[in-house]
Structures are given as structure tokens and as C-alpha cells.
Amino acid sequence: MKDFKFLKFLDKISFLYEKFGVNYKIMRKILQLKLIMDDRRVPTVMMNNKPKEEGNNFSKSLIGYGIMGIFMAIMMFPPIPLFLKMSIIFGMIIFMVMTTMISDFSSVLLDVKDKNILLPKPIDSRTINAAKATHIFIYMSTITIVIAGPSLLAGLIKYGFLFFLVFFIELIFIAAFVIFFTSLLYFFILFFFDGEKLKDIINYFQIVLSIVMMIVYQFTGRIFNVVNANLVFTPEWWHYLIAPVWFSAPLTLIVEKKIESYLIYHSICSVVIPFTVFIIYFKIVMPYFEKNLQKLNNNGKRRNKVIEKKGETHRRVVSIFCRKPLENIFFRFTQNMVSNERTLKLKLYPNLAFAAVMPIILIVGFSMDAKSFSDFLSTLASGKYHFSIYITVVLLSSSTLMLYSSEKYKAAWIYKTLPIEDTSDIYKGALKGFTFKFILPIFLFVSLIFLAICGIRIIPDLILMLLNMFLLIIIVFKLSDKKLPFSSDFQRTQGNGLLIFIVTFAFAGVSAGLQATLTTNPYFIIGYSLILLLLNFILWKISFKIDCNKKRA
């Protein structure tokens, strides 16, 4: 059986595990098996590649993390305050590590299969828990160091060995903080809920956590103000809620020898909080956390009468938009699949949430430079800031690619058994169902926010954006592989994904520029709207004529 270098390192500190009552020999064997099995798992960062039968997928994914780290390392060299650059770098590291934890390791953290197999054997739960915690910590530490490795080297060259040493130690604290903080929050969810409801809440919590991390990252670089061409930091109470600021403070104290009270307090937070969370996790959370994980095996009863009544109302509404029976069926089938598949929601919902919040985050960024809130609102109301909705258009349009993926993709054999002669109704129903359930509500939500800020003058622009979004959805469909809905594994994404990415952004950019030019004249607006309506009608008629036998083969 393959042995790992990290296991040889653990052998030297095995006495620490034994002090906590862990059977180290058994824990080592469990951990060794977990590491071997991880070679077969395809990380999220590699999802755009077709999976291969051989090779260590995790090791290959580290190349991608390393490339990201190189771009971060460039920030080490500009002549800007160390506190600022390290706050931004630590913000990027924590954001990337947290999203990796959510996307790749939450399933490991919440896994109960190993306990079902091992607990009937003469193995205590403490040993199993130690193997799981060590397993996650190994990979998260590796990813953290690979992401920050180029910045470590750049810091060594520019600031010296002491900077390198402190930075390295803080990276270990960051990996531990992310793991234990995530586990702590999951513990509170597990404590209050069980069964199917618990699985849904955990799924939504993962999504919300990824959104919060994105927002925190956006605000990390905004803690500084520009005064007379100089970056100025003004301490505020809410800065203590931003973890990247904690970890940047010790480096500023040591390298720049700048003694300020806020730097001392942030430095204390960078040490005390990770240690506190670590102790709370192992002493209090872990025993109850693993015990409560068994709730995931309990399936709660659904309220059948309410669901049945809701389904009847839904069928009546759907019949308005889908006259053909097959199109109607796949309209409802698509909405049910996306609503019930947790893996699909975990991959889809963050993208939809980003589509909703990104334009808002951008305009909040503009507010940082405003003298007052009323000044900020008047600037938005008179400008073209609502054109940032095109970011929403791009993200929503590209999200339709998720229609082809499912965790139950092996059940796609049903398509071959159904007496379907024309698959165009399948695609139309699926695309309509996805659009009406997700894309339109989010677009309307963002539009209403900008309407409240900018007034009714932007209604023509919003209509044009909506028509452009419908057009872009069809273009994305035309460029996609056009697999049947939910017939593909998540690991097999679109082969021409890069082309779709380029086309969507290019289309949005050209459309925004064209719209900004033409909307100065009301007749141009009417003409442009009619052209977009005609293009939508034509493409909707011709885009779904696909070889039925080829797609079901």
C-alpha cells in the first residue's frame, strides 16, 4: 500500500495523538486509506477537464492553485503600505481556502459512511474523528501553502526571513481557522435540525457562506481611504470582524516596526481567535458534532397535502406558457430536479446569488467615494450605473449550462425508452422551466433595486437588457454541447466552455455599448427593441432542431 511523506511526519508526533486517547496505529491506517481514495476524487478546480483513469487529480489541481498564487505574489512588490497589501492578500487566501472547503471538503466533513463501516469494529469514535480532522487539515494546509507559496517567496526576497517565518505560521493558523470555523457553524445547524430539513439547511448554509466570503473579500480592500494620493487607514470597530486584517497586523508590527494600538489588538485576534476556536472544537464541538451527524441518516416526512395542492396550482400556471404536453412535462420536471438535487443546488445557487449581488456590490463601491448618502443616490440616479446589470445578464445566461448536469445522470437511460420523436420540446420545456424559476426572478429582483434608486427613466433600458438576456440564453444554448437535460456527470462540463465564456462577455459588452449609444433617441429604442424581439423569435424557432437519435445515443 502506498505510503505518504506526511504520514512519516505524523509518526514523529504520534505521542500527541496518544495523549488525546487516539489509537495512533489504527488512525494512521484509516488516514492512509483516505489519502489513497482522494487520488480518485476530482477537485472543483479541475471540473472543466475530462476525468482520467490514472494519476493524482489532487496533485494536478495544485498547479491551478499555484498559478493563482503567482498573480497574488505580484502585489508584494508595489510601493504601497504593507498593512494594505497583506490585508488584500490574506483576504484572497481566506476566500479561496473557504470556497475550496465548501466545494470540495464539506462532503468529507459531513460524511457518515466511514462511521457506519468502522464503528461496528473495535475502533472508538475518537480515533475515527482524529483521522477525519487530520485528513481535512492535511489537504487544506497543502492548498493554503500552495496558494500562498509565491507570496511567501516574494516576501522572503523583499522583507527577509522573519517576515517569511511569521507569514508561514499564520498560514497554518488560517487553514485551522477555516476548518474549525466551518465545523463550528455546521455544529449549530446540526444541533437544532434533523433529517431532510437538516440536509436542506446545510446546503443553503454552504451557499450563504460562500456569498458572505465573497462580500467580505470585496470590502477588504475598502478599509483604506485615499487622501492626497496617499492610502490612509482609519481604525473602525467593524474592522475587527474582518479576519484578513487580523493576520496582516503582526507582519506590519514586525517588518515596519509600527507600534499602534489597533495593530496590537488585531495581532492578538490573529493568535487568540484561531486557538480559541481550535480548543472549543476539540473539547466541546467534535464529540457532539460527530454524534449529531447521524441525523443525516434520518429522513423527515414531507407535508404531502401542501405539496400536492401547490403542484396543482403550478400545473395550471405552466399550461399558459407551454401548450405542448411534452414541453409542459419537462418544464415542471426541470424545476423539480433543480429544486430537489442538493449537489446541483450547491453548484448552481452560488452563481445565481453572485448574479444578484454583484451589481449591488459595485454600486456600494461607488458610495465609498461619495461625500454623503444623498450625494451618492443623486449620482446614481443621473448616471449609467444601472448598466452594471449586464453582469447579472452574463452570469444568469451562463448558468443555463448547469441544466445538463445531475448527480443522478445514470438515470438518463430513460430518454432512450420513451417514445420521443422530437427532442426540441424537451429542450424548450427545460430552458423555459429554468428561466421562469431562477433567471427571471433574479433579474426582476436586481431591476427593482435599481428602479428604486434610479427611477422610472431606466425602464426602457431594463426592457432592452431583458431582451438581450433572452437572446444570450439562446446563444449559449446554441454554443453548448446540447446534451439532454440532467444526463451528464458534474465532472464532464462543456468542452467549449471557454468559447461560451468569451462570447457571453463580448455580447454583453457590445450590447451595453450599443444600448448606451441608441437610447439617446426614443425612436432608436423602439427600433432596437423590435430587432431584438425579431431575433429572439427567429432563434427560438430554429435553435432547437436537433438530431434526436444522435443526442439519445
Kindly tell me if the per-residue pLDDT of 36 is higher than 50.
yes
- CB 27, CB 134: distance < 8 Å: yes
Q: pLDDT for 251-268, tens place per residue? A: 888 887 778 888 888 888
Q: Does residue 230 sit in helix, strand or coil?
A: strand
Partners of 405 in beta bridges: 488
pLDDT band at 48 (very low <50, low <70, confident <90, very high): very low
CA dist 195 and 301 (Å) reads 9
pLDDT, the chain, mean: 76
Percentage of the chain lying above the pLDDT 90 cut? 7
Q: How many Cβ atoms from other residues are within 10 Å of residue 93's Cβ?
A: 25
For every residue of 61-84, DSSP letters joined together read: HHHHHHHHHHHHHGGGSSSS-HHH
Residues with Cβ within 8 Å of 360's Cβ and at least 6 positions away in sequence, in order, are 446, 449
Q: pLDDT for 268-314, tens place per residue? A: 888 888 888 777 777 777 666 666 666 655 554 444 444 445 555 55
Q: Which residues in 278-298 are b (16+ Cβ under 10 Å) and which e?
A: eeebeeebbeebbebbebbee
Q: How many helices (H) and strands (E) does the chain have?
A: 25, 2
Where helices occur in 74-124 by DSSP H, the ranges are 82-100, 106-109, 113-118
The pLDDT assigned to 229 comes to: 41
Mean pLDDT of 331-354: 80
Cell 458534474 maps to which residue? 490
For every residue of 504-524, DSSP letters joined together read: HHHHHHHHHHHHHHHTTSHHH
Partners of 230 in beta bridges: 227
Cell 452563481 maps to which residue? 351
- CB 360, CB 390: distance < 8 Å: no
**Where are the chain's structural domains?**
5-297, 304-552
Cell 505510503 maps to which residue? 3
Q: Does residue 235 sit in helix, strand or coil?
A: coil
* 0.85 exceeded by pTM: no
CA dist 60 and 296 (Å) reads 32
CA dist 31 and 8 (Å) reads 12
Kindly tell me if the per-residue pLDDT of 158 is higher than 80.
yes
